[in-house]
Amino acid sequence: MKAAIGVLFLLLTACAAPPETPLPDYSDSGKGLPHSSALIHLSARIAEDLERNHDLLNKRQLIAVTTPVWLNNINASGRLPRQLGEGLLSALHQRGFNLVELNSSKQIRVSEQGNLILSRDYQRLEANLPVNQVLVATLSQDSDGVIINSRLVDIANNRVVSTSQAFLSWQESAGYLEPSYSVTEQQGMLIRDEQPGRTPVREVTP
């Protein structure tokens, strides 16, 4: 009798205990993703798109990841595009793509700032790299965030071999984007909106 009561008590205790909450799986949906990880997650999803949509996938070919640029000024980058470029390089490598580091100089520079090898001085960089494809990405702003269009281009004939489209809202941008001001300048005139956020988002500058 005592044994039966003990078993019944254990069963009632197990029923009363709250079920364990499973950890969110960001790889499936991205819902609930922490803001600090949104850009990493975005890079991974773009890399997944590029692999899935590739016409002639050959991961032995050497790929160069160029710096993403703003669509309205293809000569301009920024904090968000540069960080996205770094994320894409990591995400593609993790998926087994063959990548080249464009900013690696020919020798290590020993200085008070540390032992450095990365450089943006073209005279220090390798001029002739056996690159087969380049990753090109553009960002365009709207009132809710940025649209990212990425593509892999065959360097021999400029043929687009893979593409990806993605979106990053300003709420997810981890401090890289903010809503536009209620007063903006357009063609030399000040335009006042009733509320901020009616015009494209702005990139946050430190």
Is 100 part of a structural domain of the chain? yes
pLDDT band at 95 (very low <50, low <70, confident <90, very high): very high
Is 22 part of a structural domain of the chain? no
Computed over every residue of the chain, the mean pLDDT equals 74
Is 90 part of a structural domain of the chain? yes
Q: What is the pLDDT of residues 159-204, one digit of tens each?
A: 999 999 999 988 888 788 888 765 556 666 655 555 555 678 888 8
What is the average pLDDT across 139-168? 92
The candidate with the shortest Cα–Cα distance to 86, out of 50, 49, 125, 135, is 135
Distance of alpha carbon 39 from alpha carbon 37, whole angstroms:
6
- Structure pTM? 0.68
Query: What is the extent of the structural domain holding 102?
Result: 30-177
Number of helical H runs and strand E runs in the chain: 3, 12
What is the average pLDDT across 35-61? 88
- Amino acid residing at 149: N
Q: Which CATH number do you get for residue 116?
A: 3.40.50.10610
pLDDT band at 45 (very low <50, low <70, confident <90, very high): very high
What is the average pLDDT across 114-122? 52
Is 153 part of a structural domain of the chain? yes
Distance of alpha carbon 97 from alpha carbon 63, whole angstroms:
8
Q: What's the full length of the chain, in residues?
A: 206
Distance of alpha carbon 206 from alpha carbon 196, whole angstroms:
20
Distance of alpha carbon 77 from alpha carbon 85, whole angstroms:
10
b/e 100-125 (16+ beta carbons within 10 angstroms → b): bebeebeeeeeeeeeeeeeeeeeeeb
